[in-house]
């Protein structure tokens, strides 16, 4: 299988994913989940899912947060 499918499955399996909701931005997701490096680190880690435009994330996309968050998650 492709790397994209493997990453999505790994995120879902490890409970380290975040499903994008209406109105989310990479910045708000990064802040909420205390992503080290902010939105740009979140984007770089999920570029295959997000695509070439970090301002265009879609509800339902599953972002991989594995290894990006600090101990203080602001959910």
Which residue's structure tokens are 């493997």? Answer: 6
**Average predicted confidence (pLDDT) for the chain:** 83
- How far apart (Å, rounded) are the C-alpha atoms in residues 37 and 39? 7
| More confident position, 57 or 14 | 57
Compute the average pLDDT of residues 50-57. 97
Task: Tell me whether residue 8 is in a domain.
Answer: yes
Euclidean distance between CA atoms 65 and 72, whole angstroms: 13
Is there a domain that residue 75 lies in? no
Question: Residue 73 pLDDT more than 70?
Answer: no
Please count the structural domains in the chain: 1
Question: In this structure, is residue 69 part of a structural domain?
Answer: no
End-to-end CA gap in the chain = 32
Q: Could you read off the pLDDT of 6-28 as tens digits, one per residue?
A: 555 444 444 689 999 999 999 99
What is residue 69's predicted lDDT score, i.e. its pLDDT?
76
Q: For residue 25, what is the domain's CATH number?
A: 3.10.350.10
Structure tokens at 46: 């999920």
């Amino acid at each position: 299988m492709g790397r994209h499918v493997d990453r999505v499955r790994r995120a879902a399996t490890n409970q380290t994913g975040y499903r994008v909701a209406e109105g989310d931005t990479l910045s708000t997701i990064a802040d909420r989940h205390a992503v080290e490096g902010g939105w740009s680190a979140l984007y770089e880690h999920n570029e295959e899912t997000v695509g070439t435009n970090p301002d265009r994330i879609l509800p339902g996309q599953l972002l991989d947060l594995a290894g990006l968050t600090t101990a203080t998650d602001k959910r």
